[in-house]
Structure 1
Amino acid sequence: MSSFFESLYANGALLTLWGALLFHLLIPIPPAAHPVRFWQLLLTNIAQKVNLPNASRQQQRLSGSLALLLLTLPTLAVLIALQSLVWKAEFYQLALLLLAVEWRGNELFTRRFIDALAKEDKHTARHLLSSRVNRDTASLSLLGLGKAGAESVIMGYARNVIGVLFWYGVAGGIGALMYRLCAEIARNWSPHKPYYATFGKPAAWLFMVVDYVPQKLFSVTVLLGMPTKAVQQTLSQAKAWANSATSWLICGYANRFELALGGPAIYGDEKLQRARIGGRIAPAAIHIAQIQKHIAWRIYIWLMLQSAAMFIIYQGL
């Protein structure tokens, strides 16, 4: 037993992971003071200067690619350089993971949104949702709010928690933070927004690449235990979902709870026709609460499996 604890103590990556999650859950960074907000402002300012509406599609795509490289490569270089200057590498990794993970924020949003939806307070629900999605929420009905809210809850946990944890396991705190920053770039420069229709495609493509493996792996934990027919329907509907990285996940939850998700979504002045997935049940507050409870347990399972994998791998190294 003593050798086990000695091995655990020697495995600084695992202690950093658990320490960062503990700090995050007990003392989260206030949203207004989170460095990600300044990153979002930087993205907006850069896009306004280099994304010219009167430019050709080729020029806009080139501008989007160069802006993406300008943001990601120097940031990565600085993070790597700082790693050799810090006094204690574990503290540096912990700080980066704290900046990347967003578990409490998703819980707070979900709790407030469920409460507003249960009271049929459309104004509050629309306001809460507007900070989480790119689509226009001003005209959403209770049905539309339920659909958008369910999708937002699923993807919020999947990316801000699972994706971050996965890349921490692969590339440490630098990998986790770079994944989170790429997620913010893809969200802010989403091609679904008319202004970023061409400019944002390189960022969306890059994020889909780095997001593919963690979302597919996490989807497996969601599909486990589902009836064979529901799994088959999930895989069939996933072929029509635009984002191949998250198709199994979003379709899996839609079919697990037989919820009617997908369908049209308004971005700016344009109406995007998305595939209709899931069953026939209109998502309500109780269903979003069920999704949150289910995904929370899946995150705990993921955390245990990742911790075991990291322990075995680092002991082997």
Structure 2
Amino acid sequence: MDSGLLLSDSLLRTAIIMLAAVMLDWVLGEPPLRWHPLVAFGRLVARLEQLLHGRRGEGARAQICAGSLGWLLLVMPPVLLAWGLSAVPLVGELAAVLGLYWALGHRSLSDHAQPVFRALQRGEEATAREHAARIVSRDAATMDIEKSTIESILENGNDAVFGALFWYAVAGLPGAVLFRLANTLDASWGYRSPRYLHFGRASARIDDALNWLPARLTALSYTLLGQTRVALRCWDTQAHACDSPNGGPVMAAGAGALGIRLGGPARYRGQWQQKPWLGLGPDPGAADIPRALRLVRSAVALWLLVLLAAGLLSALH
């Protein structure tokens, strides 16, 4: 078969599977916890951590090796399984749709952020703070509710949506599985606390590497769909001040695209941290929460339209 025809078929197939998975995610939302693969994966993570990192007095090198081994044991078997399923006709397509659906968290962004917005609209600050505390890691009592919620939306747009879409487009189901599990391990082990500084180093570095290009494509998408000149300026001048090499571009471009200011002092576990200011404009209000959600939805639509158009054009030639 002609190589160009194979490429066009593959590209269109990829676009259709991505569209189906995004639609499934939007209609159904997250699977019930008892059926969610990441819940079972989380239990495995906790159990393996006890086995590999349960001893005190381990040296830095031993901890790094233990964490690296744990990453391989947890991530590679599911990736190999995904690779095997992908090679089976029909089963591969079904597994791809379901696997990418499980890897996505687009609908969950709205499900978690909308209650915050609705509570603020009703003037119920305590309820809004309670809802916001479920999606951010900073201390609930002192956090800026609107700012914290919007930061979570923008950053998780990359972590929970665009990263999985990117790696599915690049490497199919194995790519999406690799990204989602690596991202989950980074959320579990990728801290700079005494316990995880060395043990979680591999998880943190691998997640940074896998997120590098998706994060910049996410930032570019936010830039194109919002206040483009402001977003570009914020990305260029502010992103480098963030500790996260990938969160910086996403947050700076997103804040600039929305025309608001994010970042600033925040308290984590009782300790105040001076985070850089991001974006340009006033501090966000409650109405900016649905604006941030619309920005992410528009970016998802843009990605799907671009890929579908590329697949159709390839199929016609």
Fold shared, TM-score > 0.5 on shorter chain: yes
Whether the aligned pair in 2 keeps the contact of 1:9 and 1:15 (CA below 8 Å) is: no
2:127 maps to which residue?
Answer: 124
Whether the aligned pair in 2 keeps the contact of 1:265 and 1:271 (CA below 8 Å) is: yes
2:4 maps to which residue?
Answer: none
Whether the aligned pair in 1 keeps the contact of 2:227 and 2:258 (CA below 8 Å) is: no
Q: What secondary structure is seen at the aligned counterpart in 2 of 1:196? A: coil
Deviates more, 1:147-156 or 1:46-55: 46-55
Q: How does 1:1-317 map to 2 (within 5 A)?
A: 11-33=12-34, 34-51=36-53, 52=55, 54-84=57-87, 88-133=91-136, 135-141=137-143, 144-224=144-224, 226=227, 228=229, 231-268=232-269, 270-279=271-280, 281-312=282-313
1:4 maps to which residue?
Answer: none
1:49, 1:147 → 2: CA distance?
Answer: 39
The verdict on how the C-alpha distance between 1:157 and 1:201 changes in structure 2, with shifts beyond 3 A counting, is same
Q: What secondary structure is seen at the aligned counterpart in 2 of 1:263? A: strand
Q: What secondary structure is seen at the aligned counterpart in 2 of 1:261? A: strand
Q: Under a length normalisation based on structure 2, what TM-score does the superposition of the two structures give?
A: 0.84
**Code of the aligned partner of 2:263:** G
1:214, 1:88 → 2: CA distance?
Answer: 28
Q: Under a length normalisation based on structure 1, what TM-score does the superposition of the two structures give?
A: 0.84
RMSD of equivalent CA atoms: 2.8
Whether the aligned pair in 1 keeps the contact of 2:238 and 2:278 (CA below 8 Å) is: yes
2:308, 2:189 → 1: CA distance?
Answer: 34
Whether the aligned pair in 2 keeps the contact of 1:136 and 1:267 (CA below 8 Å) is: yes
1:3 maps to which residue?
Answer: none
| Deviation sequence 1:129-159 (CA, Å, 0-9, x none) | 34333x2433234xx2222211101122222
| Deviation sequence 1:51-99 (CA, Å, 0-9, x none) | 3454333332222222112211222222223444575321121121121
Deviates more, 1:17-26 or 1:46-55: 46-55
The verdict on how the C-alpha distance between 1:301 and 1:85 changes in structure 2, with shifts beyond 3 A counting, is closer
**Code of the aligned partner of 1:237:** Q
The verdict on how the C-alpha distance between 1:42 and 1:93 changes in structure 2, with shifts beyond 3 A counting, is same
Deviates more, 1:166-175 or 1:116-125: 116-125
Q: What secondary structure is seen at the aligned counterpart in 2 of 1:275? A: strand
2:293, 2:251 → 1: CA distance?
Answer: 13
Q: What secondary structure is seen at the aligned counterpart in 1 of 2:278? A: strand
| Deviation sequence 1:200-231 (CA, Å, 0-9, x none) | 22211111111111121121122236364652
Whether the aligned pair in 2 keeps the contact of 1:163 and 1:214 (CA below 8 Å) is: yes
2:140, 2:230 → 1: CA distance?
Answer: 37
Structure 1 alignment gaps of length 5 or more: 1-6
Percent sequence identity over matched residues? Answer: 24
Deviates more, 1:12-21 or 1:247-256: 12-21
The verdict on how the C-alpha distance between 1:84 and 1:169 changes in structure 2, with shifts beyond 3 A counting, is closer
Whether the aligned pair in 2 keeps the contact of 1:8 and 1:14 (CA below 8 Å) is: no
Structure 1 residue 313: Cα displacement: 5.8
Whether the aligned pair in 2 keeps the contact of 1:136 and 1:266 (CA below 8 Å) is: yes
